[in-house]
Amino acid sequence: MQNPYEVIPADVYEVIQESPLIRTLRFKPKKPITFKTGQFIEVGIPGIGEGPFTPSSSHYIVDDMDVTIMKTGFLTEQVHKLHAGATIGIRGPFGSNYPLEKFKGKDVLILGGGCGLAPLRSLFLTMLHDNKDYNSITFLAGAKTPKDCIYKDEVSEWRKYDNVRFIRAVDEVPPGEQWAEDVCLVTKLLQKINMKPDGNPAIVCGPPVMMKFGTFDLLKYGYKEENLYLSMEKKMYCGFGQCRHCVIGGYYACKDGPVFTYDQIKNEEAIWD
Ligand SMILES: Cc1cc2nc3c(=O)[nH]c(=O)nc-3n(C[C@H](O)[C@H](O)[C@H](O)COP(=O)(O)OP(=O)(O)OC[C@H]3O[C@@H](n4cnc5c(N)ncnc54)[C@H](O)[C@@H]3O)c2cc1C
Ligand code: FES
């Protein structure tokens, strides 16, 4: 990792309104940022503050990056006010990554919902780059309603690969909205697919309640604790193990995570909060 305090300026050149609350910012850092998919960066707005976000783009692209950000409070509201031409500051990358070398040759299952799809898009795009290295890739993606679905314009491209399945579900379809795909909780999609839990990895990211029940379902279907990868979002400040804001039991989420296997953290307190 480069100097963890160094702020690299980056020029925002496109802002995509993915859903009413979620935007993707595309930017070019003034200096290439090399990261491994699953790691996070600190995104800052000069004079406002900074927060941890995971790049949602492939780790093979180092001079151009996407972050997908949900509006939840003060900082993210300011991020949502940015337009093409704005300058932001990036620190990092920080933390652990998805161990792609362990996924090669396997049937990889990705389960996510809401803004948890951001790190999963990075993982998915990185794997698509070498898709023949994986036996199969199944991506189950959930959203509350059709208008909350993100990355809508990319789905048809993602469905073109022979060994890739991308299946979406929404919790409900309000009157006036159109939807021709599944209507159920995203975890219910697990019952629709021919799962191959034996020795294969599953990667989960989403709202805490989805991660909790998704993890329990995957264990019930036979996935091993050590093959379940969870991206844990804890309150973070420094991003590199100095401030203790992000402690999960004996771990620092910023340094030892954010990617943990379930068997690493299953006995720690309040992991789903
Ligand atoms: C490793 C990591 C990666 C992340 N990646 C993304 C991402 O790709 N896209 C995205 O939209 N968000 C991501 N987050 C969450 C994001 O950092 C917070 O939503 C953001 O910092 C909230 O700032 P705020 O000032 O707008 O909201 P605040 O007013 O600070 O908080 C609003 C709500 O968000 C919760 N919150 C605040 N900070 C965090 C935090 N660090 N983690 C989890 N919840 C938080 C608060 O408890 C509160 O409920 C990530 C968090 C971590 C730790
Ligand atoms: S964010 Fe400071 S120790 Fe983890």
* Lookup: tokens for 239: 């991003």
User: How distant, in Å, are the alpha carbons of 22, 123, 147 from that of 81?
Assistant: 12, 27, 20
Tell whether ligand 2 has an atom less than 6 A from the beta carbon of residue 205: no
- Atom number in ligand 1 closest to CA 67: 8
Alpha carbon nearest to ligand 1 atom 4, residue: 53
| Cα 218 → chain centroid | 18
Residues having CB closer than 6 A to ligand 1 are 40, 51-54, 68-70, 72-76, 115, 118, 233-236, 258
How far, in Å, is the centroid of ligand 2 from the Cα of 232? Answer: 13
- The pLDDT profile of the chain, 273 residues, written as one tens digit per residue, is 578 889 999 999 999 999 999 999 999 999 999 999 999 999 999 999 999 999 999 999 989 999 999 999 999 999 999 999 999 999 999 999 999 999 999 999 999 999 999 999 999 999 999 999 999 999 999 999 999 999 999 999 999 999 999 999 999 999 999 999 999 999 999 999 988 899 999 999 999 999 999 999 999 999 999 999 999 988 888 888 889 889 998 899 999 999 999 999 998 887 888
- Atom number in ligand 2 closest to CA 244: 3
> Between vectors from CA 166 to CA 161 and to CA 167, what angle results, nearest 5°?
150
Q: Which amino acid is at 52?
A: P
* CB-CB contact of 235 with 253 (8 Å): no
Distance CA 184, CA 264 (A): 30
Question: What does pTM read for this prediction?
Answer: 0.95
How far, in Å, is the centroid of ligand 1 from the Cα of 267? Answer: 24
